[in-house]
Amino acid sequence: MANHSSAEKRNRQRLVRTERARSVRSATRTAVKQARVALAAGETDEAKGKVHAASVELARAAKKGVLHPRTAARSTARINAALHKLVQAK
């Protein structure tokens, strides 16, 4: 329990930031999952759109500080590599 007014304020700020980060993180996870499902299904045209959407969400999360920039870059690189592999196979 916070004993000082400054500690109480920091706790309020933490709650607000956590709630904001939760929505961004959830949207990012959903976009990445949809991209992986589309890649696994082997649908090239749908996968391209989903991978692009996931890349945008990952960049947004990194910009807002929800994800570390390198984590976002790594995830983006992996789904792009999977897409490239799928396109080359067809």
pLDDT tens digits for 7-58?
999 999 999 999 999 999 999 999 999 999 999 999 899 999 999 999 999 9
pLDDT at 75: 98
* DSSP structural state of residue 42: T
Reported confidence tier of residue 2, pLDDT bands at 50, 70, 90: confident
Left, alpha or beta for 68 (phi > 0: left; psi -120 to 50: alpha)?
A: beta
pLDDT at 1: 75
Handedness of CA 19, 21, 24, 27 (dihedral sign): negative
Indicate whether 90 pLDDT > 80: no
Single-letter residue type at 12: R
pLDDT at 38: 96
Q: What is the CATH number for 68?
A: 1.20.58.110
Count of domains forming the chain:
1
Single-letter residue type at 18: T
Give the integer Cα–Cα distance in Å for 14 and 86. Answer: 42
The values of phi and psi at residue 43, to 5°, are -90, 105
Residue range of the domain that includes 20: 5-89
User: If you average pLDDT over residues 57-72, what whole number do you get?
Assistant: 97
Which three-class secondary structure state does DSSP give residue 3? coil
